[in-house]
Amino acid sequence: MGNKKILLEDLGRKDYKESWEYQEKLFQGVVDLKIKNRREALELQTPNYLLLVEHPHVYTLGKSGSMDNMLLSETQLKDKGAVFYKINRGGDITYHGPGQIVGYPILDLENFFTDIHKYLRFLEEVIILTLAEYGITGTRSDGETGVWLDAGTPFARKICALGVRASRWVTMHGFAFNVNSDMGYFDHIIPCGIRGKAVASLNIELGVEKVDEAEVKSKLLKHFSTLFEAEFIEMAKTE
């Protein structure tokens, strides 16, 4: 029987590179344990993690992305108080910043199901179900990962981006949900490399200045737990 417990850690606001290195450490630990189990014919349980974090202004480019989708020079990046990284997830370019809830599930999918497409659809469904609690209809867009509003219309806009990496059925990276995001920072990229599509933030859609992010996190975790049939165990918050 797979381990359905997920260790939950809220990192608060944390530098992207530090968070990425922490993810890599946890990810590699799970992968190494799986290799050890196989080599030594062991059956040690592999852990699962979910990190929640908010980053200072940062742009990240996935391994299949194009630099043409970054519209700022190094000098302009500094002027905006932002940084840029090329990283090892799938997908193209995206933005992370204050007011955005970022989730990094580091799951051994062999504890749940071995289907990466199902995994992506479940991550989308977590966001869709959360949006529904605010009276907003989130949908999928054919051929494009993430969660969209008014998909298939001239007003299509993405409210949550997805980008993951998986090795030996262990996942990392994850989702970025715009809750109270500064939309101006998206003007400096072609988000996810998709031209002619806008982005959205929950507070703007609701017509309010600020949405309670702790409440949103609570709803996200509820739906994540239900979909993955998992139990969260909270870890101490990292300073």
Q: What is the pLDDT of residue 195?
A: 53
Residue 118 has phi, psi (to 5 degrees) of -60, -40
Virtual CA dihedral for 200, 205, 208, 210, nearest 10 degrees? Answer: -40
Q: What is the pLDDT of residue 90?
A: 65
Residue 9 lies in a domain: no
Residue 23 lies in a domain: no
- Tokens read off for 118: 């199902």
Residue 10 lies in a domain: no
Q: Which residues are annotated binding-site positions? A: 89-96, 161-163, 174-176
101: which strand partners? 177
Q: What is the pLDDT of residue 190?
A: 72
CB 20 within 8 A of CB 85: yes
R_g over Cα of the chain: 18
Q: What is the pLDDT of residue 163?
A: 87
Residue 191 lies in a domain: yes
Q: What is the pLDDT of residue 80?
A: 86
Which residue among the candidates 192, 200, 221, 230 is catalytic per the annotation? 192
pLDDT tens by residue, the chain, 239 residues: 689 999 999 999 999 999 999 999 999 999 999 999 999 999 999 999 999 999 999 998 887 777 777 887 788 888 888 988 887 776 678 889 999 999 999 999 999 999 999 999 999 999 999 999 999 999 999 888 899 999 989 899 999 999 899 999 999 999 999 999 999 888 887 755 455 568 999 999 999 999 999 999 999 999 999 999 999 999 876 55
How many independent structural domains does the chain possess? 1
Domain CATH for 80: 3.30.930.10
Specify the length of the chain in residues. Answer: 239
Residue 236 lies in a domain: no
Residue 70 lies in a domain: yes
Structural domain harbouring 190:
53-101+109-169+176-226
Question: Is 192 one of the catalytic residues?
Answer: yes
Residue 20 lies in a domain: no
Q: Which residues are annotated binding-site positions for substrate? A: 89-96, 161-163, 174-176
CB 57 within 8 A of CB 81: yes
Instruction: Round to whole Å and give the CA distance between 153 and 141.
Output: 10
Tokens 């990292």 sit on residue = 238
Residue 94 lies in a domain: yes
